Amino acid sequence: MYHLNFAPVFENINRLLVGATVTIWLSLLATLIGLVVAVVCAVAKTAGPLPLRWLINAYIEFIRNTPFIAQIYFIYFALPEFGFRMSPNVAALVALVVNVGAFATEIVRAGIESIDRGQVEAGLALGLKRLRIFIHTIMKPALRTVYPALTSQFIYLMLSTSVVSVISATDLAAEGNNIQQETFTAFEVYLVVTGIYLVLTLAFSSLFGCIQRLAFNYPLGRQEG
């Protein structure tokens, strides 16, 4: 009979919490930077010159049709051959940004294309500046439309950070692997690690739900300024 022994795991719980913190920061930074990349690429794909659209399409198709672990290996092991050396955590962040940027580009693009062209023309007719039209007439309604998809992408990205442990990034999965190798309590360690990922997922899902209700669900009759 197998006897559960969580004592070695709880003795190293601080290491798991530090790893969870790294996972959260990697996910947040990658999502924020990746969203900027996605907005730029989405705008260029909808309104940019043809060669630029081809380049963005190639980027999206390459990232979406190759394994994430292969992208990490390329950034961490191949790029140093060309003089681009990065620490494991920085390489993990770059890989996550590149990955989420490609997926989020299509999400943002769909949101932009859902905006009625007449709203833009109405803004121009009112003499509004193009930047204000872009922010309030295009991006704000577009982000409201694609917000659920973007939050789902964040959750998927946070769970995908577990892969970056293959390059010794100090995330939650990596700390779990280290503790397991030291204590030989694989079942207990990975059960606790799985539980932490579950708690993080549920917590962020609840947080995003609250943000959606506060920021995007307007009372009847209220108009966006």
Three-class secondary structure assignment of 10-28: HHCHHHHHHHHHHHHHHHH
pTM score, whole prediction: 0.86
Q: Say how far residue 1 (Cα) sits from the centre of its chain.
A: 42
Phi, psi of 185 (to 5 degrees): -115, 65
* pLDDT tens, the chain, 225 aa long: 778 889 999 999 999 999 999 999 999 999 999 999 999 999 899 888 899 999 999 999 999 999 999 999 999 999 999 888 999 999 999 999 999 999 999 999 988 888 777 776 777 777 777 777 777 777 778 888 889 999 999 999 999 898 998 888 889 999 999 999 999 889 999 999 999 999 999 999 999 989 888 877 644 344 443
Whether 224 is in a domain gets the answer: no
Q: How far apart are CA 102 and CA 58, in angstroms?
A: 10
The SS3 of residue 218 is coil
Helix (H) or strand (E) holding 66: none
Whether 38 is in a domain gets the answer: yes
Whether 1 is in a domain gets the answer: no
Whether 220 is in a domain gets the answer: no
Contact between residue 96 and residue 114 where contact means Cβ atoms under 8 Å apart: no
Whether 189 is in a domain gets the answer: yes
For the CA atoms of 157, 159, 162, 164, the dihedral, rounded to the nearest 10 degrees, stands at 0
DSSP one-letter string for 100-113:
HHHHHHHHHHHHHH
Whether 65 is in a domain gets the answer: yes
CA distance to 85, 141, 190, per residue, from 136 (Å): 40, 7, 46
What pLDDT does residue 221 have?
A: 41
Residues in contact with 225: Cβ distance below 8 Å, sequence separation at least 6, in sequence order: 136
DSSP one-letter string for 153-179:
HHHHHHHHGGGGGGGT--SHHHHHHHH
Residue numbers of the domain that contains 203: 10-215
Tokens in use for 220?
Answer: 């009847």
Long-range contacts of 193-202 (CB under 8 A, 24+ apart): 193/16, 196/16, 196/20, 196/172, 197/158, 197/159, 197/162, 197/172, 200/20, 200/23, 200/24, 200/158, 201/155, 201/158, 201/159
Whether 140 is in a domain gets the answer: yes
> What domain count does the chain have?
1
The interaxial angle of helices 172-183 and 13-47, nearest 10 deg, is 150
CATH assignment at residue 125:
1.10.3720.10
Whether 198 is in a domain gets the answer: yes
Residues in contact with 132: Cβ distance below 8 Å, sequence separation at least 6, in sequence order: 123
